[in-house]
Amino acid sequence: MVRKKLIERLYNNFGELDDGTVLIDDKAFLDSVVGISSDGRAIYNYEIMASELVEQYGMSYEDACDYIDFNIIRSLPYYGEQAPIVFDPIVNMD
């Protein structure tokens, strides 16, 4: 049910999406999905993912980043060609 709602939200916000889109987790990081790539892969914002872990699980920001790096980023190659994209936005330091 959660996946169906997320797929509908992604479709409404970003357009074409098929049910074969691979998500990191159907229940976590729902607000972290910021788009769909031209080849149909879900795009996640690293900073929002970390913030969700801090808010939902009371982690420190450092622990949240460690969790993402160790448990998510390292697992992406195992998703295959449809692996989600996790990007860390560039911060303008000017």
Distance, in Å, from the CA atom of 20 to the CA atom of 78, rounded to the nearest integer, reads 16
Is residue 42 within 8 A of residue 23, CB to CB? The reply is: yes
Question: Per residue in 28-72, pLDDT tens?
Answer: 787 888 887 888 788 899 999 999 999 999 999 999 999 999 999
Reported pTM: 0.75
Look up tokens 């914002």; give the residue. Answer: 45
Q: What is the pLDDT of residue 24?
A: 76
For residue 86 the two structure tokens come to 């996790």
36, β-bridge pairs: 42
Host H or E run for residue 21: none
Place of tokens 């939902």: 56
Q: Identify the DSSP state of 38.
A: T
- What are the backbone angles phi and psi of residue 45, rounded to the nearest 5°? -95, 120
User: Hey, is 34 helix, strand or coil?
Assistant: strand
